[in-house]
Amino acid sequence: MIPTETTTAISVEGLSAGYPGVLALQEVDLTVRSGRICALVGANGSGKSTLFAALLGLRSPAQGRVRLFGRSPHAARRRNLVSYVPQHDQVDPSFPVTVEQTVMMGRYGHLGFTRRPRAADREHVESALEQVGLAGLRSRTIGELSGGQRRRAFLARSIAQRAPLMLLDEPFAGVDRVSEELIVQVLHQLRDAGTTLLVSTHHLEGIPDLAEEVVLLHRTVLAAGPPGEVLTEERMADAFGTVLGLGAASAERRQP
Ligand SMILES: Nc1ncnc2c1ncn2[C@@H]1O[C@H](COP(=O)(O)OP(=O)(O)OP(=O)(O)O)[C@@H](O)[C@H]1O
């Protein structure tokens, strides 16, 4: 199946999920159309990571249903329809794996039984490295990168995977302004090429320049829609339990 502009990339209906004794998500309904960037916003503990886990099929719903391009999360992963950039990568920074090898990991699902990369795999790795500005650091080990560079390497790994849906858990955490601008630019390029992106972020001021849609989560979906409609003082107070200085993110300031 080739996702098109009119396809629904993410469809979540009545999802409740959590952990023993913790209902992290309750009655979550969410639709993200293909080819969009959707920002996922919520306070610490509001359920963003749990939602990602449910979308990836790593956490089973207690109730409700998750579909990615009309398929179950497991089926979507088997067909390489979804990739994930975690907040904290599991790769030990002291493990002697190079940047290039890390990005090639994104191709593992595409390799045949010999596990040998072909020319197309190398091309995808090359273009992902260039896209995130790490081509010159390809031979460094992951441990030799700065935190922000390491995040770009893991983003490149996900780009190389070439899945039509990318889930990114706080890609801007701990990155400087230049890296952040580069990452936003890369996410826009991916979107323009037809990729759907769900991006959790605590950087509220950056959202209007990043995403067409925002989902405000607080165990359930408090609001969803364009940034100017969702990022209002009132709604953010509901989500964060306090009045935030929204600055450039506020609806009024976004009006031309
Ligand atoms: N492994 C776990 N076992 C038990 N409870 C958990 C576990 N992981 C998360 N929780 C709880 O589930 C709720 C949602 O947590 P989750 O990590 O999804 O929030 P989050 O929005 O990603 O937070 P943050 O912004 O801090 O990353 C919280 O109450 C949290 O304490």
CA of 252 to the centre of ligand 1 (A): 32
CA of 18 to the centre of ligand 1 (A): 8
Give me 217's structure tokens: 């989560």
Report the predicted TM-score, pTM, of the whole model to 2 decimal places: 0.89
pLDDT tens-digit series, residues 41-70: 999 999 999 999 999 999 999 999 999 999
Take atom 26 of ligand 1 and give the residue whose Cα is closest: 44
CA 175 – CA 54 distance, rounded (Å): 27
98 pLDDT above the threshold of 70: yes
pLDDT tens-digit series, residues 179-207: 889 999 999 999 999 999 999 999 999 99
Percent of the chain past pLDDT 90, that is, above it, reads: 68
The ligand 1 atom nearest the CA atom of 170: 27
pLDDT value of residue 255: 40
Give 146's pLDDT tier (boundaries 50, 70, 90): confident
Take atom 16 of ligand 1 and give the residue whose Cα is closest: 47
Contact status, residue 150 vs residue 98, Cβ threshold 8 Å: no
Question: At what angle are helices 119-131 and 147-161 packed, to 10 degrees?
Answer: 140
Take atom 5 of ligand 1 and give the residue whose Cα is closest: 19
Q: Report the chain's mean pLDDT, rounded to a whole number.
A: 88
DSSP collapsed to 3 states, the chain: CCCCCCCEEEEEEEEEEEECCEEEEEEEEEEEECCCEEEEECCCCCCHHHHHHHHCCCCCCCEEEEEECCECHHHHHHCCCEEEECCCCCCCCCCCCEHHHHHHHHHHHHCCCCCCCCHHHHHHHHHHHHHCCCHHHCCCEHHHCCHHHHHHHHHHHHHHHCCCEEEEECCCCCCCHHHHHHHHHHHHHHHHCCCEEEEECCCHHHHHHHCCEEEEEECEEEEEECHHHHCCHHHHHHHHCCCCCCHHHCHHHHCC
Contact status, residue 43 vs residue 6, Cβ threshold 8 Å: no
CA of 236 to the centre of ligand 1 (A): 19
CA 137 – CA 148 distance, rounded (Å): 13
pLDDT value of residue 256: 37
